[in-house]
């Protein structure tokens, strides 16, 4: 028979890694801590969970408060419950990923900032176990991009194939041959009647994902 453990108060928080492809990098929104402990360190956005809301609802609420977006897809990344993960209290965190399409969110206007994932992993200025969350995010996306639809979450409903290829390249950390890439995704997308001027100032056909 399992030994009974005294019931103690443990705080539950939700961390949300608001994630986007910025240029040719995978980036995450971070904020600087305004108070001790670890004042001035970078931390992933977080919120307490209200008694009346689920974990998913808390994550979506936080994203809406920060970005103003009413509909953002979130996915659970993992649970972080090391006893000493925070020095001032016993806090368990459930981390979520929020996917932001390219060029749709002005982080600085919202009082936060995007940081490159690789820079955060190398940095000594990240609070608590947030660096572990960032590492887990990178590894999860790299593993999933080859066999899931996760790349489509980083582009808008209508997109160009160069943008979609860039998402794959950033997540996989390698260059892809254009012809091979397009052959792989041809059954997943459909062409629209529109064109868009790309980075090379040449028109690119606009596509959307097949239903």
**67-110 pLDDT, tens digit each:** 999 889 999 999 999 998 998 889 999 999 999 998 899 998 88
**Interior/surface letters 122-151, b for 16+ CB within 10 angstroms, e for the rest:** eeeebbbbbbbbbebbbebbeeebeeeebb
**Cα–Cα distance between 70 and 79 in angstroms, integer?**
25
**pLDDT (mean) for 195-204:** 75
**Cα–Cα distance between 122 and 145 in angstroms, integer?**
23
Mean pLDDT of the chain: 94
Tokens standing for 156? 């808008």
Half-sphere exposure of residue 81, counting CA atoms within 13 Å on the CB side? Answer: 7
11-144 and 156-209 share one CATH topology? Answer: no
**pLDDT (mean) for 18-33:** 96
Distances in Å between the alpha carbon of 153 and those of 117, 122, 198?
17, 26, 20
Instruction: Say if CB 29 and CB 45 are below 8 A apart.
Output: yes
In sequence order, what are the residues at sequence separation of 6 or more whose Cβ sits closer than 8 angstroms to the Cβ of residue 79? 92, 93, 94, 95
Instruction: Say if CB 90 and CB 10 are below 8 A apart.
Output: yes
The domain ranges of the chain are 11-144, 156-209
Instruction: Say if CB 114 and CB 71 are below 8 A apart.
Output: no
Fold of the domain spanning 156-209: Arc Repressor Mutant, subunit A (1.10.10)
| pTM assigned to the model | 0.93
- Model pLDDT, residue 139: 98
SS3 30: strand
Closest CA to 149 of 96, 70, 75: 75
What is the CATH superfamily name and number for domain 11-144? Answer: Nucleoside Triphosphate Pyrophosphohydrolase (3.90.79.10)
């Amino acid at each position: 028979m399992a030994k009974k453990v005294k019931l103690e108060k443990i705080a539950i928080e939700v961390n949300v890694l608001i994630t986007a492809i910025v240029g040719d990098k995978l980036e995450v929104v971070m904020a600087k801590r305004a108070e001790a402990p670890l004042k001035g360190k970078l931390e992933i956005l977080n919120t307490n969970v209200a008694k009346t809301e689920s974990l998913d609802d808390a994550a979506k609420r936080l994203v809406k408060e920060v970005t103003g977006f009413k509909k953002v897809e979130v996915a659970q990344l993992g649970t972080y419950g090391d006893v000493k993960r925070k020095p001032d209290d016993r806090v368990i965190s459930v981390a979520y990923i929020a996917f932001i399409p390219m060029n749709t969110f002005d982080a600085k206007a919202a009082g936060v900032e995007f940081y490159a994932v690789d820079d955060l992993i190398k940095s000594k200025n990240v609070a608590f176990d947030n660096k572990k969350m960032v590492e887990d995010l990178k590894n999860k996306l790299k593993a999933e991009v080859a066999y899931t639809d996760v790349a489509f979450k980083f582009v808008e409903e209508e997109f160009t194939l160069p943008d979609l290829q860039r998402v794959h390249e950033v997540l996989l950390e390698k260059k892809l041959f254009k012809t091979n890439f397009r052959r792989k995704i041809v059954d997943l997308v459909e062409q629209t009647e529109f064109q868009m001027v790309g980075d090379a100032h040449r028109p690119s056909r606009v596509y959307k994902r097949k239903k």
